[in-house]
C-alpha cells in the first residue's frame, strides 16, 4: 500500500491549528474536482458546506475558468462566464470536508472558525480497459482516478464578543 503525502509543505502548517483530510483514487472527474477546489479555497467551513449542498441541489453553479470549452454561459457568475453543476464531484468533496471537520473536532478546534487554506485535486492512476471491436481491433477505454486534499485552519476570532 502506498504512503500518501500532501502537496502542501508540512513546515507551513501548525499542527495545533490545522486539520487535514484527503480522498484518494476517487472515481470523479479531475477537471470538475479542480474547479470545485478552486472555488471553495479561502471559504469558511460552514459556508463551503452550504455551497456544496447547493451545488448538489443544483441551486448554485460552479464557475469553470480553465475547463470551459463546452460549458454553457450562465448569468450571475462572478469572474467567469461559464459554469456547471458537477454533482458527483461535489458529493465526494463534501464527504472529504466533513472528514476534515471531524478531524478538527477530534483535535479540539472550533468548527465555526475553520477556513479552507488548501484544497487541491489532481489526477491519480489510470484504470486501463479495452473494448473489443470488429476485425480483431480494440478501442482503449481509460479512466483517470482523482486525488483530493483539503486542509483547514482555525482563524483567530474575537472571543470577547458574542
pLDDT of residue 108: 94
Residues ≥6 apart with Cβ < 8 Å to 52: 36, 40, 90, 93, 94, 97
pLDDT of residue 40: 96
pLDDT of residue 127: 96
Q: What domains can be seen in the chain, in order of their start residue?
A: 16-154 (3.90.470.10)
Helix (H, G, I), strand (E, B) or coil at 13: coil
Segment 138-154, tens digit of pLDDT: 999 999 999 999 999 99
| Stated pTM of the model | 0.90
Residue 4's pLDDT band, with cuts at 50, 70 and 90, is: confident
CA 132 to CA 28: how far, in whole Å?
25
The set of cell numbers assigned to 144 is 483517470
pLDDT of residue 73: 87
Residues ≥6 apart with Cβ < 8 Å to 90: 36, 52, 55, 56, 62
Mean of pLDDT values over 14-41: 95
The set of cell numbers assigned to 59 is 441551486
Segment 46-91, tens digit of pLDDT: 999 999 999 999 999 999 998 888 888 888 787 788 999 999 999 9
Amino acid at each position: 500500500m502506498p504512503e500518501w503525502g500532501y502537496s502542501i509543505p508540512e513546515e507551513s502548517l501548525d499542527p495545533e491549528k490545522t486539520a487535514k483530510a484527503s480522498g484518494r483514487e476517487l472515481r470523479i472527474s479531475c477537471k470538475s474536482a479542480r474547479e470545485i477546489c478552486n472555488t471553495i479555497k479561502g471559504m469558511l467551513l460552514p459556508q463551503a458546506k452550504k455551497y456544496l449542498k447547493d451545488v448538489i441541489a443544483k441551486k448554485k453553479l460552479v464557475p469553470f475558468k480553465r475547463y470551459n470549452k463546452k460549458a454553457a454561459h450562465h448569468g450571475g457568475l462572478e469572474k467567469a462566464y461559464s459554469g456547471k453543476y458537477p454533482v458527483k464531484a461535489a458529493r465526494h468533496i463534501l464527504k472529504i470536508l466533513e472528514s476534515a471537520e471531524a478531524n478538527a473536532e477530534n483535535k479540539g478546534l472550533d468548527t465555526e472558525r475553520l477556513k479552507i487554506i488548501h484544497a487541491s485535486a489532481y489526477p491519480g492512476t489510470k484504470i486501463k480497459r479495452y473494448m473489443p471491436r470488429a476485425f480483431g481491433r480494440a478501442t482503449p477505454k481509460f479512466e483517470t482516478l482523482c486525488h483530493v486534499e483539503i486542509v483547514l485552519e482555525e482563524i483567530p476570532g474575537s472571543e470577547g464578543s458574542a
